[in-house]
Amino acid sequence: MGWGDLGAFGEPSKETPNLDQMAAEGMLFLDFYTANPLCSPSRAALLTGRLPVRNGFYTTNAHARNAYTPQDIVGGIPDSELLLPELLKKAGYINKIIGKWHLGHRPQFHPLKHGFDEWFGSPNCHFGPYDNRELPNIPVYRDWEMIGRYYEDFKIDLKTGEANLTQLYLQEALDFINKQQGSQQPFFLYWAIDATHAPVYASKQFLGTSQRGLYGDAVREIDDSIGKILRHLQQLGISENTFVFFTSDNGAALISAPKQGGSNGPFLCGKQTTFEGGMREPAIAWWPGHIPAGGVSHQLGNVMDLFTTSLSLAGLQPPSDRQIDGIDLLPVILQGKLIDRPIFYYRGNEMMAVRAGLYKAHYWTWSNSWEEYGKGTDFCPGQSVSGVTTHTQEEHTHLPLLFHLGRDPGEKFPLSFASEEYQRAMEWIAGIVQRHRDTLVPGQPQLNVCDKAVMNWSPPGCQKLGKCLKAPESDPKKCSWPH
Amino acid sequence: MGWGDLGAFGEPSKETPNLDQMAAEGMLFLDFYTANPLCSPSRAALLTGRLPVRNGFYTTNAHARNAYTPQDIVGGIPDSELLLPELLKKAGYINKIIGKWHLGHRPQFHPLKHGFDEWFGSPNCHFGPYDNRELPNIPVYRDWEMIGRYYEDFKIDLKTGEANLTQLYLQEALDFINKQQGSQQPFFLYWAIDATHAPVYASKQFLGTSQRGLYGDAVREIDDSIGKILRHLQQLGISENTFVFFTSDNGAALISAPKQGGSNGPFLCGKQTTFEGGMREPAIAWWPGHIPAGGVSHQLGNVMDLFTTSLSLAGLQPPSDRQIDGIDLLPVILQGKLIDRPIFYYRGNEMMAVRAGLYKAHYWTWSNSWEEYGKGTDFCPGQSVSGVTTHTQEEHTHLPLLFHLGRDPGEKFPLSFASEEYQRAMEWIAGIVQRHRDTLVPGQPQLNVCDKAVMNWSPPGCQKLGKCLKAPESDPKKCSWPH
């Protein structure tokens, strides 16, 4: 989902009354970022509080490449990483993930091995349908075992866009919340829906209801579901004891526009890029009785902050034996403070850009290769900024391209290198980058090796369902990451 | 000002609390248009309820050219046009214009000859400073006579951007409203401010207060002023008897970005073009006790509707002896109705595009000429849609370029000519265009002739001030309209 996809963020058809209401009752974050322009590393960063380059969710196969966790990926979340649910357990929390895990699908990466107590959802994106010979269909898990596969037991009609998955995820969320009411145990629910990820889907009752086409139908169903979850918390009388945060894992995929792609509002390009459209996200905090209603924050935030903030809410400290990138947002949310901190924009193993205050400096620019662009892959449709949306990897490390995101949110007018403003801002930013580089200990890259043998041929539970498939011979290769 | 310039419309820094509050208390129009991508014809359309091609605010000097009323223009609003204040007089209204008139500066076009009872402001844009030899500085009028000139008696500091004009206009508005309280006479106030028009200005107290630079400072001052006007109406106890509408006369001038240009949100291009960025406007209706708070309307609206709607509020009928393009929005505003009507996008003497429902068909496309573009005049900075943002005038009358503005508000993905959807939509639209053309009686074009002799050399009142200047010999010429 993109920054511009919600009514509260200026989507021209304003079809998200529940999320807009959530913002009106809570706090809207206008300068909130994901840790990566792609879903998988972004979700790993959210759950570890650490940049992908630290937690291993990146590749060194080629320079500055986006990588994720398709089903032939060999890697996943290392055991050495501490995930939010693992830590919350210490404070007595029960933890559930509903939806897309995306931190590795092989047994050692299973969410229940990394702190979650329950899972309903899938390890990978819902691409398909596959023939179960070249590629197996993606499994859907309940806790330790698979209970079916997409396109077989969990239907997605690519022709009509119909799938009732969001409704299943919603019911699962409501049931989980209900269950904890009996136990009085504190809970952490990671509602990791994926209806707006291509192939975009919506339930029958939402199909055709949006001005925006299928993508809008999916957004409307998510909006409706979140409204139901919030009202449920209120009806149970636990809303003032439940912190809720809504955000997205990457900008709208303009490559899928207009049929399956969303809006990044006034920002440049989309998913896969380190321009604002790729990484600035809609974000709303909600906690009635604690967060002043209608608040608007310009705090530079990041999905990694949800790690540290959640620990803080549970009375826990973040781990002290490693670098944590997330900050505790509670002073921002509860007291309206502004914390000075930078945002780093990585593409794989390269820091492409950094934001400090309203300045954003690009050290590298790349939208995608001429080769991919020539094949019709365009991450910036209709947008072209000379020297900025480049189709070769352009290095600017000695003289970064600098933008003022207040005057120029669309990254269209680089500041003059000769200006005093440029000199002053770059002096500040250079120090930030130096400190970042000096302390950076990259993790072991997890997204380098792919092997067809590790795909979801025979996930646990497949025997009971008669859904085990024969894996091919192992043939590990360097994954190909073109972007 | 552009569609994307207000917080309620998704401006990323959300710096307009008063207009956002006005929207929260009133009705937000998401699909509201101006009648022209340029200020002067747009304002003429607002006050006459008629398209510029009917009321004469267009040129036939060249095909599809934007024209306006600089100070060497010979034409202006014809006496045969009936202006809103002329008609409101019949219902006992006192009418005042504060700010930019722009309907002609020669004596016969004076606002007090066209229904206004009072005027504080100027006839033309606040360009300058001039040397008073080649060009005179623009006069500022109080009622019939000039009381000074811009850059002389009414300072605008182009270096700092400081000018207190919006404060003067604000005080004038508050005083006018106060005065009517004594008389019990109904009033019409046309608060026609121009701080966001280049050269952009703001008062000292607002300078440097916006994240967005000088343009944002100007927006903040306008926002603050509107808050003061609305609160004043409330304090006087007349808010429930006063209909207030906020909108703009053209999209943000991206040619002035980023220093003096605003935002058109997710829309294509800006002022001067017939893409959405040129003509879709922020719009808010406010009338406590009548308009349900927090309403959002998808009604296709137009500044010309303010003519008809205002007459309706005053219990008057629009003139029946001529074609009126504005519709009465009261059923929309008070009862939430949706009225089926098209939007026509003209550039001078050519209907470039038409919108019906969510479809927009371009019959002609042109951003600007290669020659102007080569000189650095870019109405679509950072945006380039192949075959759409063309630098030659491209005719598509036989096979219009069709966009679905719900799925594709940015006009980036034309529908396939071969699709059923295209055929169905174009059948509908062709009928609308045929009916429009069949009944169109173009007015006498007013913006064809320019003459240095008619400039503001010696406006009425100049004698008293010793500010009369000698006009050159009359030398009427065809005005040059490059865009």
Residue B216 and residue A406: Cβ atoms within 8 Å?
Answer: yes
Question: Choosing among A211, A379, A386, A390, which should be mutated to test the B contact, i.e. which has the most B CBs within 10 A?
Answer: A211
Asked whether residue B188 is assigned to any structural domain, the reply reads yes
Residue of B nearest to A384 (CA): B382
What lies within 8 Å, CB to CB, of A164 at 6+ separation is A155, A203, A204
Q: Domain check: are B315 and B415 in the same one?
A: no
Nearest CB to B13; choose among A13, A30, A215: A30
Catalogue the E-assigned strands of A372-464.
394-395, 401-404, 449-450
pLDDT of B181: 85
Inter-chain touch A409–B215, beta carbons under 8 Å: no
Within 10 Å of residue A166's Cβ, how many Cβ atoms? 22
List residues forming the annotated binding site of B for Ca(2+).
Answer: 39, 249-250
Same domain, A260 and A382: no
State the pLDDT at residue A196. 98
Q: pLDDT by residue (tens digit) across B177-190?
A: 999 987 889 999 99
For residue A381, give the chain B residue with the closest CA: B412
Question: For residue A36, what are the domain limits?
Answer: 7-340
**SS3 of residue B396 by DSSP:** coil
Q: Both A385 and A416 in a single domain?
A: yes
**Is the Cβ pair B406, A212 closer than 8 Å?**
yes
Does residue A268 sit at the B interface (CB-CB below 8 Å)? yes
Is residue B445 situated within a structural domain?
no
Tell me the DSSP string of B131-161: -SSSSPPPEEEETTEEEEEBTTTB--BTTTT
Domain presence at residue A445: no
Q: Give the residues across from B38 on adjacent strands.
A: none
- Give residues with Cβ within 8 angstroms of A313, minimum separation 6: A243, A330
**Interface membership of A14 toward B (CB under 8 Å):** yes
Residues 6+ apart with CB under 8 A from A467: A139, A146, A148, A149, A152
Nearest-neighbour CA in chain B from A420: distance (Å): 16
Average pLDDT rounded to a whole number, residues A427-441: 97
* Whether residue B199 has a cis bond before it, omega within 30° of 0: yes
Residues A351, A289 within the same domain: no
Residue A6 has pLDDT above 90, yes or no: yes
Q: What pLDDT score was predicted for residue B184? A: 82
Of A213, A268, A408, the CB nearest to B407: A213
pTM (whole model) above 0.80: yes
How are beta strands A118-122 and A350-356 bridged, if at all?
Answer: unpaired
User: Which amino acid belongs to residue B268?
Assistant: L
A308 at interface of B, judged by CB pairs closer than 8 A: no
Q: A334 to chain B, minimum CA–CA distance in Å? A: 20
**Cβ–Cβ below 8 Å for B30 and A14:** yes
The CATH code of the domain that includes B410 is 3.30.1120.10
Instruction: Look at strands B295-297 and B27-33 and give their pairing.
Output: parallel
| A280 lies in the same domain as A383 | no
Residues making up the binding site of B = 39, 249-250
Give B-chain residues touching A8 at CB under 8 angstroms. Answer: 10
Asked if the model's pLDDT at residue A416 lies above 80, the reply is yes
Reported as a single tens digit per residue, the pLDDT across B454-481 is 999 999 999 999 999 999 999 999 999 9
pLDDT surpassing 80 at residue A16? yes
Residue B287 and residue B335: Cα distance in Å, rounded? 13
- Residue A158, min C-alpha distance to chain B (Å): 18
List of chain A residues whose C-beta atoms are within 8 Å of the C-beta of residue B12: 3, 30-31, 265-267, 405, 409
In this prediction, residues A355-360 reach a mean pLDDT of 98
Structure confidence by residue, pLDDT tens digits, B246-288:
999 999 999 999 999 999 999 999 999 999 999 999 999 999 9
What pLDDT is attached to residue A183? 84
B297 Cα to chain A: minimum distance (Å): 9
DSSP bridge pairs for B113: none
* Interface contact flag, A266 B4, Cβ < 8 Å: yes
Q: Which of A31, A213, A265 sits opposite B266 (nearest CB)?
A: A265
Chain B residues whose beta carbon lies within 8 Å of the beta carbon of residue A20: none
Rounded Cα distance, A30 and B397, in Å: 42
Do A78 and A152 have their domain in common? yes
Say whether residue A105 is in contact with chain B using an 8 A CB cutoff. no
Which DSSP state fits B429?
A: H
Q: Do B413 and A258 touch (CB under 8 A)?
A: yes
Question: What is the model's pLDDT at position B183?
Answer: 84
For chains A and B, what is the number of CB pairs under 8 angstroms?
A: 125
- Give the one of B8, B211, B409 whose C-beta lies nearest to A12's C-beta: B409
Token pair, residue A118, equals 């329950």
CB contact under 8 A, B412 and A211: no
Which pLDDT belongs to residue B419?
A: 98
Rounded to whole angstroms, the Cα distance separating A454 from A19 reads: 39
Interface contact B298, partner A, CB < 8 A? yes
Residue A75 pLDDT: 98
End-to-end CA distance of chain B: 20
Angle, helices B165-183 vs B214-235, to 10°: value is 10
Q: What is the ipTM of this complex?
A: 0.95
The tokens for A208 are 């055709």
Q: Does A210 touch chain B (CB under 8 A)?
A: yes
Q: Which residues lie below 8 Å from residue B7, measured CB to CB, with a gap of 6+?
A: A296, B14, B15, B16, B17, B19, B20
Least CB-CB distance to A382: which of B10, B298, B412? Answer: B412
What pLDDT shows up at residue B182? 77
Based on the fold, state whether residues B314 and B412 are members of the same structural domain. no
Nearest to B148 by CA among B122, B171, B181, B129: B122
CA distance A196 to A217: 9
**Shortest Cα–Cα distance, A9 to chain B (Å):** 4
Count of domains for chain B: 2
The pLDDT value recorded for residue B388 is 98
CB-CB contact of B343 with B337 (8 Å):
no
Average pLDDT for B366-376: 97
Q: Please tell me the predicted confidence (pLDDT) of residue A184.
A: 82
Last residue of a domain, one of A340, A355, A378: A340
Does some domain include residue A470? no
Q: What is the pLDDT of residue A182?
A: 77
Across A108-114, average pLDDT: 98
Digit-coded pLDDT (tens) for A281-319: 999 999 999 999 999 999 999 999 999 999 999 999 999
Region class of B435: left (phi > 0), else alpha (psi between -120 and 50), else beta? alpha
Using a CB–CB cutoff of 8 Å, tell me whether B153 touches chain A: no
Nearest to B258 among A267, A383, A408 (CB): A408
Residue B171 and residue B264 share a domain: yes
Nearest CB to B14; choose among A14, A30, A259 = A30
B210 at interface of A, judged by CB pairs closer than 8 A:
yes
Q: Do B14 and A28 touch (CB under 8 A)?
A: yes
Are residues A286 and A371 both part of a single domain? no
Token pair recorded at residue A69: 């966790």
Out of B10, B14, B382, name the one closest to residue A412 (CB): B382
Neighbours of A281 (CB within 10 A): 27
Where is the domain boundary, A400, A415, A439?
A439
Q: Based on the domain organization, do A261 and A363 belong to the same domain?
A: no
Q: Tell me if B215 sits within 8 A of B195, measured CB to CB.
A: no
User: Look-up: residue for tokens 């629009």?
Assistant: B318
Cα separation, B393 vs B387, in Å, equals 11
Q: Residue B450 falls within a domain, yes or no?
A: no
Please state, in angstroms and rounded to a whole number, the distance separating the CA atoms of residues A325 and A337: 19
CA distance A381 to A393: 18
Percentage of chain A with pLDDT > 90?
99
What pLDDT does residue A79 have?
Answer: 98
pLDDT tens track for B345-361 = 999 999 999 999 999 99
Question: Is the CB of residue A57 less than 8 Å from the CB of residue A73?
Answer: no
Q: Distance between CA atoms of A145 and A148, rounded to whole angstroms?
A: 9
Q: Chain A within 8 Å of B204 (Cβ-Cβ)?
A: no
Task: Establish if A242 belongs to a structural domain.
Answer: yes
Q: Which residues of B touch A407 (CB under 8 A)?
A: 211-213, 215-216, 258-259
Residue A181 has pLDDT above 90, yes or no: no
Question: B75 with B126, same domain?
Answer: yes
- Provide, rounded to the nearest whole percent, the portion of chain A with pLDDT above 70: 100
Known active-site residue A105:
no
Active site (annotated) includes residue A39 = yes
Q: Are A219 and A358 in the same domain? A: no
CATH number for the domain including A111? 3.40.720.10
Pairwise CB contact (< 8 Å): B13 & A28: no
* Tokens linked to B265: 């949100």
Q: Confirm or reject contact between B211 and chain A (CB < 8 A).
A: yes
| Residue B286: Cβ within 10 Å count | 25
Across the range B202-225, mean pLDDT stands at 98
Inside any domain, residue A16:
yes
In A, minimum Cα distance to B10 occurs at A10
Q: What are phi and psi of B171, to 5 degrees?
A: -60, -40
Residues of B in contact with A212 (CB under 8 A): 406-407
Share the mean pLDDT of chain A: 97
Tell me the pLDDT of chain B averaged across its residues: 97
Identify the domain boundary among A340, A357, A391: A340
Q: Is the pLDDT of residue B205 over 90?
A: yes
Query: What's the gap in Å between the CA of A256 and the closest CA on chain B?
Result: 11
Listed by number, the residues of chain B in 399-438 with a beta carbon closer than 8 Å to a beta carbon of chain A are: 404-413
Which residue(s) pair with A149 in the sheet?
A: A139
Nearest Cα residue in chain A from B267? A266
Whether B464 is covered by a domain: the verdict is: no
Distance (Å) from the alpha carbon of A265 to chain B's nearest alpha carbon: 5
